[in-house]
Amino acid sequence: MAVTYGQARAQWLAHVSGVRAPAWMADWLTDAMSLTLKLTSRCASFRVQRLAQRRALPLHDEFAQVALPRRVAVQEREVLLRCDGRPVVYAHTIVPLSATARDWPFFGALGERSLGTTLFGDPRVWRGRLQYARLGARHPLARRAQAALGTALPAPLFARRCLYRRRRGLLLVTEVFLPAIGDVTAPPAGRK
């Protein structure tokens, strides 16, 4: 069966082998540590660039993940994670509007701070299992990443997503790995 990467929908899989990622990319996709922590250990300068935080409709493959019966407005956050100035990850997060400030007290005030640091630093946050996908050029997240960068990106882009729970609130984080992630290899000299 031929695989096409222009599709607007992704097939999310429970095992990374299903997306046929190269070994070096599979290491990024499956690493259970905080992506922020991993990136900061491998570059001299790490930055979160907030692109948007607003009410929006979730994607067709997202709303059921956060226990919504249909596509209704959610709070959406989009950022680029930059290592030494280069964008290496496009991240997309949704939170149902029914989530309260007690569920996610920090979400509305993150600005350009890392969501990952907050999620991994809070013992009340439960982390679900990772899911993996190959995103085609027409997938909405691939298109948004391209728009943020202002340049065409090769297809496919590898992505992972994970559901988080705090109290009764759900939050879905999707991370799309950009081509420059291949240049982020080992910690800079003098760092471990």
How far does Cα 179 stand from its chain's mean position? 15
2, pLDDT greater than 50: no
CA atoms in the 13 A half-sphere facing the CB of 164: 23
* Backbone phi, psi, residue 109, to 5°: -115, 20
Contact 35, 116 (CB under 8 A): yes
Rg (CA), the chain: 16
Q: What share of the chain is helix, strand, coil (3-state, %, to 5)?
A: 25, 30, 45
Tell me the pLDDT band of 9, cut-offs 50, 70 and 90: confident
- Residue whose token pair is 């992704």: 10
Mean pLDDT of the chain: 89
Task: Give the whole-angstrom CA distance, residue 66 versus residue 81.
Answer: 24
pLDDT at 95 over 90: yes
Domain boundaries, the chain: 16-183
pLDDT tens digits, 99-147 = 888 888 778 778 787 888 778 888 889 999 999 999 999 999 999 999 9
Q: Which residues pair with 157 in a beta bridge?
A: 135
Return the amino acid letter for 50: R
Query: What fold, for 16-183?
Result: Chorismate lyase (3.40.1410)
Residues 132-188 pLDDT 10s: 999 999 999 999 999 999 999 998 999 999 999 999 899 999 999 999 999 997 665
Q: What is the pLDDT of residue 10?
A: 87
Side-chain-facing half-sphere of 16: CA atoms under 13 Å = 18
Give me the pLDDT at residue 5, please.
47
